[in-house]
Amino acid sequence: MRFSDRMDTIPEYVGARLNRKIAEARGRGDDVISLGIGDPDLPPDPRLRERLAAEVQRDDAARYPTNHGEPALREAVATYYQHRFGVSLDPTTEVLPLLGAKEGLAHLAAAILDPGSCSLIADPGYPVYAGGPLMAGAASMPLPLLPENGFQPDLTAVSAEVAAQSRLLIVGYPNNPTGAIARPGLFGELGAFAQQHELVLCHDNAYADIVFDGEPAPSALADPSFRAHGIEILSLSKTYSIPGWRIAFAVGNPDVIAMLQRLKTQIDSGMFPALQRTATWLLGQTDVAGPPLAIYRARRDLACQQLQAIGVPVTPPAGGMYLWVPVPTDESSLAFADRVLEQAGVVVTPGNVYGAAGEGFVRMALTVPEDRLGEAITRIGAIL
């Protein structure tokens, strides 16, 4: 059999690798505590499940969906953006349902990039930021997010040659994996940069409602210069503990939305109608439980205290559902993560899978109960 040469360049996805290693360890009978994948452990609001169950019973729920999204859903997204972020959207041209943020980010790269072109991506950042360009045959150039810069990109470090090759720039705040919040003025700077170099911008807004110590994280579209050149991807997965439902939206610049939709009509047939209608209902509610911030905050604080106690100082993140932890030995992040799994039965994600700037860190997800989180850190301390 022959396969595409492209597949020789595409590595195993980090989540698939972690799931395989967890399955192997548990198959040996090991008691594995997984802090690897950001899969919320708390169930969604019961009313949300009840609504989906009711929508599934409709006679037309099994019909083909509309790829553009039902009008009521696009209206609900626009209304939500107005109330939540103070951003006005045209539901006809500026809203597109996605089958999760990951799908949208990967297909955006295919819609924008050609072989020989380049995407500027946050580093460290969600692995699909690099995976999408790779599948499009394009290059990725990192925008290093360093601790000394508060994990914010330094646009002045982008060379004129790289900027000229670039067509797409992707960032995400609150940032996965560092937990940093976008500093004031960042989205305006990105907009000016995009105008200068004729770039498409994308802000990955998957963790918009998981912010611990200040005002809610803003939408990039609240800045007119950003909105003129790009889109934002909003996911409901982490906010409502429904990652398996794959509900997200691309919103913003109508030209970018139209191109992404055109590509998607060749790839998928749209979101399951029952999910579209459930999301329409959900976005109109004010009392459906959102992210359990008190629980995540308590887990964050407990984990930071216990890591400090075993000699691993970590800065408490301002947002997101992860800790970005310095590797406390002279090992690489991958070697340390492998040893922690083998010797302690704890899964952490090596920082290098999020980009070169992630080397020297591991990511720990705050998605297990406090007792298991504490036990995981105790186990790590025992092998240091």
Using an 8 Å Cβ cutoff, are 321 and 367 in contact? yes
Q: How confident is the model over 347-365, as a mean pLDDT? A: 96
Contacts of 357 (CB under 8 A, 6+ apart): 123, 124, 142, 144, 145, 146
H helices of 113-155, in order, are 128-135
Q: How confident is the model over 243-260, as a mean pLDDT? A: 98
Indicate if the pLDDT at residue 206 is higher than 90.
yes
Structure tokens at 276: 């579209």
Indicate if the pLDDT at residue 216 is higher than 90.
no
Indicate if the pLDDT at residue 374 is higher than 90.
yes
Cα separation of 328 and 330, whole Å? Answer: 7
Looking at residue 144, its pLDDT comes to: 96
Cα separation of 378 and 169, whole Å? Answer: 40
Looking at residue 124, its pLDDT comes to: 97
Cα separation of 355 and 368, whole Å? Answer: 25
Indicate if the pLDDT at residue 28 is higher than 90.
no
- Over residues 259-277, the pLDDT tens digits come to 999 999 999 999 999 999 9
Looking at residue 26, its pLDDT comes to: 75
What is the average pLDDT value for the chain, to the nearest integer? 94
**CATH number given to 47-283:** 3.40.640.10
Cα separation of 41 and 34, whole Å? Answer: 11
Structure tokens at 39: 């899969």
Question: Exposure of 312 by Cβ count < 10 A (0-12 exposed, 13-18 middle, 19+ buried)?
Answer: buried
Half-sphere exposure of 179 (CA within 13 A, CB side): 25
Indicate if the pLDDT at residue 258 is higher than 80.
yes
Looking at residue 127, its pLDDT comes to: 94
Looking at residue 193, its pLDDT comes to: 98
pLDDT more than 90, % of the chain: 88
H helices of 253-345, in order, are 254-264, 273-283, 293-309, 333-339
Overall CATH class of domain 5-43+291-383 = alpha beta
Cα separation of 190 and 185, whole Å? Answer: 9
pLDDT confidence tier of residue 365, bands split at 50, 70 and 90: very high
Using an 8 Å Cβ cutoff, are 299 and 373 in contact? yes
Q: Give the residue extent of every domain in the chain.
A: 5-43+291-383, 47-283
Using an 8 Å Cβ cutoff, are 87 and 218 in contact? no
Q: Say whether 47-283 and 5-43+291-383 share the same fold.
A: no
Cα separation of 124 and 203, whole Å? Answer: 14
Contacts of 115 (CB under 8 A, 6+ apart): 136, 137, 138
Q: How confident is the model over 136-143, as a mean pLDDT? A: 95
Looking at residue 4, its pLDDT comes to: 83
Beta strands 200-205 and 33-34: pairing type? unpaired
- Over residues 284-298, the pLDDT tens digits come to 998 898 889 999 999
Cα separation of 154 and 190, whole Å? Answer: 10
Q: How confident is the model over 118-134, as a mean pLDDT? A: 96
Give residue 129's region: left, alpha or beta (phi > 0; psi -120 to 50).
Answer: alpha
Looking at residue 95, its pLDDT comes to: 98
- Over residues 76-98, the pLDDT tens digits come to 999 999 999 999 999 999 999 99
Check: pTM over 0.85? Answer yes or no.
Answer: yes
Cα separation of 26 and 83, whole Å? Answer: 45
Looking at residue 215, its pLDDT comes to: 72
Indicate if the pLDDT at residue 135 is higher than 80.
yes
Indicate if the pLDDT at residue 320 is higher than 80.
yes
**Residue 204: φ, ψ to 5°:** -85, 110
Contacts of 172 (CB under 8 A, 6+ apart): 122, 125, 126, 129, 203, 204, 205, 206, 207
Structure tokens at 168: 């797409």
* Residue type at position 222: A
